[in-house]
Amino acid sequence: MAKPLKLQQGQIWQLGDQFIRIVRLERLAVEYKLTTGAVIKAGPNLKATKKEFCRLIKTAVLQSAALASKPGAVRPQ
């Protein structure tokens, strides 16, 4: 059984060739950015309930903390 992950503000998830960055995390809602390029700061903020967001990232891969801490850039692996 997989170890459950905790959602945290600033996490970056890779879903295929797209990147999802959690911008704001609330009790029942998540605000995130969805981009396809290397610049994660571009693009509008999208909103979803936590349940919808978890379904969205179900097959996504969490990027490393060192990669998430770099301002504005994400490298595909």
pLDDT tens digits for 13-50? 999 999 999 999 999 999 999 988 766 677 789 999 99
- Mapping DSSP to helix (H, G, I), strand (E, B) and coil, where does residue 65 land? helix
**CB atoms near residue 30 (< 10 Å):** 23
- 39 contacts 49 by C-beta, under 8 angstroms: no
Residues 37, 68: Cα–Cα separation, whole Å:
14
How far apart, in whole angstroms, are the C-alpha atoms of residue 32 and residue 65?
17
**Structure tokens given for 47:** 């909103």
The amino acid present at 24, given as its one-letter code, is: R
Instruction: Give the start-to-end residue ranges of the domains of the chain.
Output: 12-64
- The pTM score is 0.76
